[in-house]
Amino acid sequence: MNEADARRVILVRALESSPTPGTPWKDSDTAWASRAAAEVVGEDADAERFLARRAQLAVERLGDRDRQFLRLGEGHDWRPWVTSVVVAVAFGLGILMDASGPVRYVNLLAFPLLGLILWNLLIYLLLLAHGLSSPFRQTPRRQGPFARLMARLGGALQEGSGAIDSPSQRFRADWALASARLTGLRVGCTLHLAAASFALGAILALYVRGLVLDFQAGWESTFLDPEQVHQALSMVLGPASLLAEIPIPDAMHLATLRLPESSGENAANWIHLIALTLLLSIVLPRLLLAALAGLAAGHLHRHFPLPLGEAYFQRLQRSFEGRAAHTHLLPYSYTLSPQATLRLHEALQKTFGPQASLGVAPCTRFGDEDKLSADLLPDPPSALTLMLFSLSATPETENHGCFVESIIKRLPAGAPLAVVLEEGAFLSRFASQPERLEERRRAWTRLLEKYPLAVGCLNLETGTADETALALASLLDQQAHLEKSR
């Protein structure tokens, strides 16, 4: 799936996952899009092709009703001309930077471009540190203000900080998150090209001014002697000296260039060494980094990854493949009312499709977690297993925790498993005391945070099926994220 397809898929997901009054997308449109896409791609198509075609048909249908959604679906996340403008401006600034230095004098220990070299070396170290730390980072690194400005100039959607109360706002937030890596690569490629262009501008200015002006080279220092200056220059300009076969003068010769006792010497060879050092330390590495970022961005543009493990995509895939999703509920010391069970079943059908089924195991009594029956879990495992606890119960490690551990051990590795905390009964008793609700939620969180499980608080007893479906979808997305991060 390419970037354009993924953008449309996420737009349609925002419409179908955030139903609001007045939205030009109805349940009948959802069914039509799935049916029409299945007819077009055929039953042998893979899930990504089905999702891409479904989103394309949906956006076309939406465009006839609201041009805003068509513009969102067919928009682009990067303006190519931005890169050209930024590179050209950087080249011009590079020319001006050299002009800001001494007019006819090259200080070998503090030439104007030395700071530019050191700055780029620092950037390389930061990039290396970022690359080494990425596998261990739990959250994506936030871009700096300049990178965010570049992304905005390039046309990338920015995730807002306000409340999300419409499908278009949901899409902007979702797409900004989904395309963050691709946007970062494009911004990185542009910045690397700009840095190389800046250095090339400085090199060009250095040679052009050298054609019409008589540059002299020398050095001055309060603390360094000629031998130390020779070592410093060998370290900075040594690679360029070897490549250009222009030897760096020894300490005795450098002593004759010390200012103000000397007027220096012709700076031609020093200019060659400085220019070649800029090429080696800035231009070539930056062009290489730009090429790598560009190749990676191109690959992501052609093969855009979507979180197909999320509940929304799983439901569409099951519908397309004609598979039914079976959910198995494991109540512990709590029995749902018949109405709540029907409401949960309806929410599962909204989440997984109309063929979704719900199986409810016999309730495990408090204290019986050590003697669970052999047929408590189905064989083979369900598409999803939910452990049900009542939020009204005080969490106990030796009871509730033991039950969780027993179920985890019995299920095959990788089998989807999550925890539902039914809070309807608790809310009915303490509706006027929200602090009690938060306190009890924190107590359950402390108990369950040691397990690799998604945990959701659902109001199954008094909530609506739509509210339950939204909370269940959030729980399943959390569970899919945990599975991906393992």
pLDDT in tens, 453-462: 889 888 888 8
Mean pLDDT check: name the lowest of 19-28, 383-392, 456-465: 19-28
Helix/strand/coil (H, E, C) string of 62-114?
A: HHCCCHHHHHHHHCCCCCHHHHHHHHHHHHHHHHHHHHCCCCCEEECCCCCCH
- Tokens standing for residue 7: 């953008």
Residue 113 sits in the same domain as residue 226: yes
| pLDDT for residue 186 is more than 90 | yes
- pLDDT at residue 102 above 70? no
At 433 the pLDDT is: 84
pLDDT at 190 over 80: yes
What's the pLDDT at 195? 96
Domain assignment present for 316: no
| Band (110; pLDDT cuts 50, 70, 90) | confident
pLDDT of 426 over the 70 cut: yes
Task: Please report which confidence band the pLDDT of residue 374 belongs to, taking 50, 70 and 90 as the band edges.
Answer: confident
Average pLDDT score over residue span 162-183: 81
Instruction: Determine the Cα angle at 397 with ends 395 and 402, to 5°.
Output: 115
Please tell me which residue, 62 or 444, carries the higher pLDDT value. 444
Are both 298 and 250 inside the same structural domain?
yes
Is residue 315, in this structure, part of any structural domain at all? Answer: no
Q: Is pLDDT larger for residue 215 or for residue 198?
A: 198
Q: Which amino acid is at 297?
A: A
Do 410 and 328 sit in the same domain of this protein?
Answer: yes
Residue 308 forms part of a structural domain: no
pLDDT value at position 138?
55
Whether 159 is covered by a domain: the verdict is: yes
For residue 347, tell me if it sits in a domain. Answer: yes
Give the residue among 177, 138, 184 at the shortest CA–CA distance from 160: 177
Least confident interval from 13-22, 306-315, 400-409, 468-477: 13-22
C-alpha to C-alpha distances, 151 to 79, 230, 449, nearest whole angstrom? 10, 44, 36
pLDDT band of 99, cuts 50, 70, 90 = low
Residue 215's pLDDT is what? Answer: 85
Residues 295 and 358 in one domain: no
Whether the bond into 380 is cis, omega within 30 of 0? yes
Q: Mean of the per-residue pLDDT values for the chain?
A: 85
Distances (CA, A) of 75 to 69, 72, 170: 10, 5, 16
**Spatial separation of the C-alpha atoms in residues 176 and 217, rounded to whole Å:** 52
pLDDT of residue 411: 84
Whether residue 17 has pLDDT greater than 90: no
Any domain includes 312 = no
Q: Are 98 and 16 within one domain?
A: no
Asked if 254 contacts 301 with a C-beta cutoff of 8 angstroms, the reply is no
Is residue 216 scored above 80 in pLDDT?
A: yes
Quick one: 153 and 295 in the same domain?
yes
pLDDT of residue 484 exceeding 80? no
Residue with tokens 């009312």: 337
Q: Which residues lie below 8 Å from residue 329, measured CB to CB, with a gap of 6+? A: 336, 344, 358, 359, 360, 361, 386, 388
Whether residue 365 sits in one domain with residue 464: yes
Domain boundary among 52, 74, 96: 74
Residue with tokens 């590179």: 87
Q: What are the residues whose beta carbons fall under 8 Å from the beta carbon of 370, sequence distance 6 or more?
A: 402, 406
Among 57, 74, 91, the domain-final residue is 74
Residue 123 has what pLDDT? 93
Which pLDDT score, from 0 to 100, does residue 15 have? 85
Confidence class for position 354, pLDDT limits 50, 70, 90: confident
pLDDT-based confidence at 137, cuts 50/70/90? low
Give me the phi and psi of 247, to 5 degrees please.
-70, 145
Mean pLDDT score, 23-28: 75
Residues in Cβ contact with 219 at an 8 Å cutoff, skipping those fewer than 6 apart: 107, 108, 109, 229, 254, 257, 258, 259
The predicted model gives 75-96 an average pLDDT of: 89
Are 66 and 87 in a shared domain?
Answer: no
Asked whether 337 and 463 are in contact (CB, 8 A), the reply is no
> Quick check: 381 pLDDT over 80?
no
Q: Is the pLDDT of residue 161 over 60?
A: no
Which domain CATH number covers 428? 3.40.50.300
- Within a domain: 340: yes
Cis peptide before 260 (omega within 30 of 0): yes
**Which residues, 6+ apart, have CB-to-CB distance to 269 below 8 Å?**
246
Order of strands, sheet of 454-458, starting from the edge strand that comes earlier in the sequence: 357-360, 326-331, 384-390, 417-422, 454-458
Nearest-angstrom CA–CA distance, 193 and 198: 9
Please indicate, yes or no, whether residues 97 and 53 belong to a single structural domain of this protein: no
Structure tokens that stand for 161 in this block: 């900080």
Q: Which of 287-301, 367-381, 394-408 shows the lowest per-residue confidence on average (mean pLDDT)?
A: 367-381
Within this chain, do residues 70 and 84 fall inside the same structural domain, yes or no?
no
pLDDT grade, residue 471 (50/70/90)?
confident
- Residues 96 and 65 grouped into a single domain: no
For the cut 60, the answer to whether the pLDDT of residue 81 exceeds it is yes
- Alpha-carbon distance values, 472 to 42, 391, 400, 466 (Å): 31, 16, 21, 10
CA distance 147 to 88: 18
Domain around 327? 322-485
Pairing of strands 417-422, 384-390: parallel
pLDDT at 375: 82
Q: Tell me if 456 is assigned to some domain.
A: yes
pLDDT at 185 over 90: yes
Q: Tokens standing for 355?
A: 């063929």
Share of the chain above pLDDT 70, in %: 91
Confidence of residue 288 (pLDDT cuts 50, 70, 90): very high
Question: What is the number of structural domains in the chain?
Answer: 3
Of the two residues 160 and 236, the one the predictor is more confident about is 236
Q: Do 285 and 363 share a domain, yes or no?
A: no
**Residue 256 has what pLDDT?**
92
CB 420 within 8 A of CB 390: no
- Residues 6 or more apart whose CB falls under 8 angstroms from that of 131 comprise none
Strand residues in 209-264 grouped as ranges (E): 216-218
Tokens (6 digits) for 2: 């390419």
User: Phi/psi zone of residue 364: left (φ > 0), alpha (ψ -120 to 50 degrees), beta?
Assistant: beta
> What is the pTM (predicted TM-score) of this model?
0.74
Given 273, 302, 331, the domain boundary residue is 302
